[in-house]
Amino acid sequence: MPTIKQSNFRLEPTKSFVDSSFFIDLTKIKLDQMKLDTSEREIFGIYDYTSAKLGSRPSISLNGISFQSISDVCESLPQNTCFITQGHLKNLNTLDEFKKIDKKTFLRNRALDIYSAIERKDVLWDPSILSQFSVISFADLKKYKFFYWFAFPLLHASFKTEKIHITKEDTRRYKKAICNLEIRQQVYIFEEGKEGIKIIPFSNLTKYINDCKKVTLLFIDTSKISNCASYVLGNLISALSVYGFSDVDIIIHHVGLSSDLESLIHFSIDNTYCVTDHVTGWERMADGRLGPKLANLGSLIDPVQLADQSVDLNLKLMRWRIAPKLDLDVIRNSRCLLLGSGTLGSYVARALLAWGVRKITFVDNGKVSFSNPVRQPLYTFEDCLDGGHNKAETAAECLKKIFPKVEAEGYTLDVPMAGHPIKNESAEKRDFEKLERLFDEHDTVFILMDSRETRWLPTVMGNAKGKIVIDAALGFDSYLVMRHGSIRLDVPLEQQQEGRLGCYFCNDVYAPSDSLSDRTLDQMCTVTRPGVAMMAASLAVELFVSILQHKDKQFAPHSIKGEETVLGCLPHQMRGFLHNFEILKLEAKNFKYCSACSTRVIEKYNEDGWEFVKNVLSDTHYLEDLVGLTEFHEEAEKVALALDLDDSDDSIL
């Protein structure tokens, strides 16, 4: 600290107060903007010089607005109550970096920044430069611990002080001038005029510098301690030393104190002393030792909010180093409808959560049985009791327990199935209308049922409504994961028959029929190697995410080159075989006579809705007649008969 003759006058260091909102905003900025960048970032601190209590040290506050622009900060704070000072934040990526940074060099460089501004005379127009600060920090975003250390650079001038007694008349004149002052900055000049004392901006110091006149200054102090002043006064004295002043009178004004004019100090400055020879300014801890502070917000932040931010953390870390162009928002904002809440549905839901999806809806008509929990991770033994809980609702409740911020819902309903006659039209129509509404409310549909005919109506709806449709099906040691080709809703149907990717039914020459009646026990259960469902579910979700990263989304062509999206290739189908651990990436164009995605089916669905579905359910031949499969079979039989005749002729010869 400077050498001061008068023992009861001293410079007070600043103490910092950092609100939790500052760290919350730092977390967001670190994840979304700064990432691994450790360059210094501009922030703002607030010195409130009106509300501090008597005897309090100067203190700077940082909160959520500290990261905003200076104009926004000024608008959000009441005038004539505080000073806004610029600072810089250097956030390190590891605790080791935070510990090893050269503190001495860092502080000296920040002090030299202030010294350069003094030399350029920038401080005359902006005295807040004298109170500039810096913060080094490390944010442990997994545990929500924030290590930080404030530096308030102080240039040390050589000076002596003497307290000056002022008359009651001068006191009255000074007080009158100060009472009429609208405080905008921390330093002003007192000037004698014909009408008495007036206060002028600090920028007018230039004429005093040029004429080497003695000057009287007004320093609005941010401390509330008599016979003391903020450390900023030390930087002001250093600036005056650089400008060649050797004798200066300064009134140290403590706003709100009755004795606010008792501190009129005369400073005798040694201009031969280099103010950059000695620099101090690191903030001390409460016990007086030099060291950083720790803010542990893990126990203070709402656990739900903490979980919300932590869920995105791993995804954003992935984007920092591996895939900087990865669009996480389009994934987060996707609304996913899962048709089937069994083994596939459970694993698909968990993978969607891991990718940050916030809206997941289940549809199922079953109840949790005792065989389910070991293969379906959203259920427990308790869910099997009392006849079994409804699968869809239980799955949604489980997701909320895993992550409370997810918007999860479950609906128990039967999906009308082709080949299954209507038994209760009002109930089946009600389920149809509910399913149709769910399709309208979601962007992506995962078809995860365990029978062929249950997939028909969702396939039709997905195409008719322009949704992303992901289909997954299991065998004993094999699986199919595919994305359905999509019809563009803004292009006439007749122009879209050829060329688009096919759906689940495009390889079939027969319409779906009843495959569920009269099944044996092994046919009623999903008999498959336990790992197959996990593999298929994860691939289904990864395929969905890759679709969202493509510029054409669900209209993207089949591709296996690996350059089509930020995550790599985008195949149409993946067929996996566990017996030899092989995955085939295949493409199949749509079938002209497809019973689910042909234009004739889509047109009829759009025209008649439930009536069309009812006809399909009531008449097993209706669908094949509609799309032309009946005629297709007849032509095929004629060709086969002709071939048989040719073969018989050959045998005769």
Answer yes or no: is pLDDT of 163 > 90: no
Answer yes or no: is pLDDT of 522 > 50: no
Q: Which residues of 416-441 are buried (b: 16+ CB within 10 A; e: fewer)?
A: bbbbbeeeeeeebbebbeebbebbee
How far apart CA 596 and CA 594 sit, in angstroms, is 5
pLDDT single digits (tens) 341-400: 999 999 999 999 999 999 999 999 999 999 999 999 999 999 999 999 999 999 999 999
Just list the catalytic residues: 525
pTM of the model: 0.76
Nearest Cα to 291, choosing from 66, 98, 89, 141?
98
pLDDT single digits (tens) 58-90: 899 999 999 998 888 888 787 778 899 999 999
Phi, psi for residue 100 in degrees, rounded to 5: -90, -10
Q: Please report, as a single letter, which amino acid is at residue 547.
A: I
Answer yes or no: is pLDDT of 259 > 60: no
Nearest Cα to 359, choosing from 446, 450, 432?
446
Answer yes or no: is pLDDT of 521 > 90: no
Strand boundaries in 344-476, DSSP class E: 359-364, 407-412, 444-447, 468-474
Query: pLDDT band at residue 524, thresholds of 50, 70 and 90?
Result: very low
Query: What residue ranges do the domains of the chain occupy?
Result: 10-296, 326-492+500-628
Quick one: CATH architecture of 10-296? 3-Layer(aba) Sandwich (3.40)
Helix (H) or strand (E) holding 309: helix 303-321
Q: Which residues of 68-81 are buried (b: 16+ CB within 10 A; e: fewer)?
A: eeeeebeeeeeeee
C-alpha distances (whole Å) from 591 to each of 351, 456, 510 are: 32, 15, 12
Strand boundaries in 427-477, DSSP class E: 444-447, 468-474
| For the chain, counts of helices (H) and of strands (E) | 20, 24
Categorise residue 266: left if φ over 0, alpha if ψ from -120 to 50, beta otherwise: beta
Mean pLDDT of 521-530: 63
Answer yes or no: is pLDDT of 463 > 80: yes
* CATH class for the domain made up of 326-492+500-628: alpha beta
* Edge-to-edge strand list for the sheet holding 264-270: 158-163, 264-270, 247-254, 215-221, 187-193, 196-201
